Structure 1
């Protein structure tokens, strides 16, 4: 009983840290989901300032920006704005953008969703009373979002950054701060700086060095032809440039013949398409870091829940456990009941990632995953002979986003019961799709409503039928194979997800 209770506690810990805190932060930072981080501009840079207003340093900063004709974005702490409404009014009057930085400078990871919402609404009300308009932009303290921020902040654009310099610590010094900023002085950058040192972990007089270093940056920037703009202009320019760049490949891929009407693919178009394909598979340092964390999390999960390798261990793992869900009505009147033993199958994350990054398309990834399951089923069947409680296993069990094709292997699919587990599983599998396939983000945007996890279950007898399979031969079962086996049908909306990987 103690061991079971410990397992439940570990599960809860995994879920909380992964779904409430870790995954939203990674999704936002790595994939830019629902956040703005970097501009696509020719000569514009966005200066953003957190934690103010401050009665001493914010007016000095405004004087500096005015002197150089620069615009900035101020993410205000609501309690500070409430104390210094005249400074907030001046920020607004001088044409700078105002955003929300919570009412108090507390991390969203440490607050309930309802509390975060109250903080944002309270700050929005304060700013509206002072300026006459509500902010459109939000930056959570330390740039940390929780899971519910996506759903509850639909009316606000979350803004993160490309460069952060540690300017809240006075030991950095103005000279070192200037050098850090100078290295990042280029179009599209979103700088995060601080005009107030009265928050936890900051030094009260640190903004003095920020203002000193920023004056040199403004001078350098204007000498080199850069413009310092508010985040609203940066986003508008980025969207405009992105729309223009999307139309360029089409223009380069086709050209009208002299007679008109017929288009042909040019060499230039082929080169453009080839470069685009290679670019889609480039992995930046942030995504590499996210993948490394994901792999480490998997190793910890394997150790904690005693997963066993299947075959050479490069594709599958499994564990035998007691099923704890509602009763599932299978074929021939058989039932999977709570307390029955199941063999729970898991894909190796490294294999999924490598496969997704090296597939020609998301459809190609899905087909390869189905084939990988097909190759692994004989090993899973043979593992029943040596697995602890293998003789008691009623079914092979997994959770999948792929709904079509698994039946051809002998699986039956069932809806995942509604609840917290279903919701968390849905989020995790969608995150995996974004990580393992270059087109994952696009698939989520276009077909998100069709990417619904389902239980996939194979009865023990069907699994054992794979035990002696040879070559390309598939086992058959009279109750499910009245028609000849057909090729697997893969939904074209489905991308790099996985069959049977549960958490």
Structure 2
């Protein structure tokens, strides 16, 4: 019996407590504090609440501040109009599980299910997929810690006990003012209907927050969204690059602008671009497509290109190849519906056979509906290989060392997605889709089940 208890202690420590300590105290694989002057982050957990969240939104609007709301999926289901207002007023929405339950008490499959269910709810209401996650009580299990299911985990640098009504507005005000400084990530709660919280506690939080926002205005501090704070961090980090690499990156981005202008590339999502494209004719070898047709020379295609600046930003904030792949996968998933809608809406795109790109992806694109083919040997394949290796050395966290580790695997490939697959998977489901695409294929991709892809870059032929 004693041996069994000892083993249970070891297992629970390895599964829950050790990942929690490493992330909470050392910040490994999580974001919990910024460093850029002039800004801090207000984050709100457990909502939306039909009484207090609207009051909070009114207060933030009055002071011109932005916040990040980590919402509980079951609460969002009951109050979709509040979630929509949060989104429409420019605040960031993240996931706080479907029910407010610790990840220490759930199996990995249960956590993934909670994430997926809440992700779908947010997407249905706002039309955008969330990319940030705060587990309830900040408790991570081993699989959250090790695999990071595609969401960037956000913790906090200060918390104030605002879930207890006895703390009171005066004590909260004093505690919050002591922590009111640049880079701080403050944890507050706009709902008191979770275990251990008092239902009326947010009322005291709102009184204290008004006082703190008034003080922030006097100190010329602004509350910004977590994603904006992380962008500031990346920009600050990019300034620390060596002089030679800064020159290389500057020239690279200058070339990007010239390339886009010369080839008249368009952007799928101008507000946050990842995929650029142009209408062109295919010039490669014949490829058999999944719908039984063939892609031949002269057929019209949309040629895809990743955004170089976005790739560099992803590489700058990622500490591993896995993190780069996850962020790229999510960005592509975000842009493909916009590309599909353009194909439906614009007459000049109605004759295209599919999407086309050249890349170094070795695993993963098939899950999106792409066909992966070897690039025929020759001058184009050789020059593409050199270019993509240069790109990888710039954006990858390991730089040149990554090239030495796996040069044999980094061979350029051709990616093709038949137009029917694009429309069936990613376009709005209406009668035009059935006419253009034929039969339905799989529903939206579940990133939790995706194999990870190597860093990729599209290049024209």
TM superposition score normalised by structure 2: 0.52
In structure 1, the residue matched to 2:182 is 187
SS in 2 for 1:35: coil
Q: Distance in 2 between matches of 1:140 and 1:64?
A: 26
For residue 94 of structure 1, report the CA deviation from its aligned partner.
Answer: 0.3
SS of residue in 1 equivalent to 2:142 = coil
**1:18 counterpart residue number:** 13
Measured in 1, the distance between the counterparts of 2:7 and 2:121 equals: 38
Alpha carbons of structure 1 residues 235 and 60: separation in structure 2 relative to 1, 3 Å: same
Q: Distance in 1 between matches of 2:98 and 2:205?
A: 23
- How far off is 1:38 after superposition? 0.5
The aligned counterpart of 2:25 is 30
- Separation in 1, partners of 2:169, 2:20: 30
1 CA distance for matches of 2:124 and 2:189?
24
- Among 190, 206, 210, the alignment partner of 2:205 is 210
2:105 counterpart (106, 110, 131): 110
| Cα separation, 2, equivalents of 1:149 and 1:185 | 30
How far apart in 2 are the matches of 1:246 and 1:19? 37
Query: TM-score, normalization: structure 1?
Result: 0.48
Counterpart selection for 1:197 from 192, 203, 214:
192
Contact 1:117 1:152 in 2 (8 A): no
1:178 aligned to which of 156, 169, 173: 173
Q: Deviations over 1:325-349 (max 9, x none)?
A: xxxxxxxxxxxxxxxxxxxxxxxxx
Query: What is the aligned length?
Result: 251
Structure 2 equivalent of residue 80 of structure 1: 75
Alignment of 1:351-390 (within 5 A): none
2:199 partner SS: coil
Separation of aligned partners in 1, 2:116 and 2:148: 10
Q: Matched residues in 2 for 1:83 and 1:153: separation?
A: 28
Pair 1:139-2:141 in alignment: no
2:95 equivalent among 100, 123, 131: 100
The 5 A counterparts of 1:329-478 are none
Give the Cα separation in 1 of the matches to 2:159 and 2:57: 20
**Residue among 163, 172, 178 paired with 2:158:** 163
- Partner-residue secondary structure (3-state), 1:95: coil
Q: 2:46 aligns with which of 47, 51, 70?
A: 51
How far, CA to CA, are the matches of 2:203 and 2:15 in structure 1?
Answer: 36
1:6 — aligned with what?
Answer: 2
Matched, 1:149 2:138: no
User: Aligned with 1:45: secondary structure?
Assistant: strand
- Gap runs ≥5 in structure 1: 252-441, 451-503
Structure showing greater radius of gyration is: 1
Any idea what the Cα deviations from partners look like across 1:431-456, whole Å, max 9, x if unmatched? Answer: xxxxxxxxxxx99xx99xx9xxxxxx
CA RMSD between the two structures: 2.3
CA–CA distance in 2 between the matches of 1:211 and 1:125? Answer: 30
Corresponding position of 1:68: 63
Provide the C-alpha distance between the structure 2 equivalents of 1:152 and 1:127, rounded to a whole number of angstroms: 22
Identify if the C-alpha distance between structure 1 residues 43 and 82 changes in structure 2 by more than 3 Å, giving closer, same or farther.
Answer: same
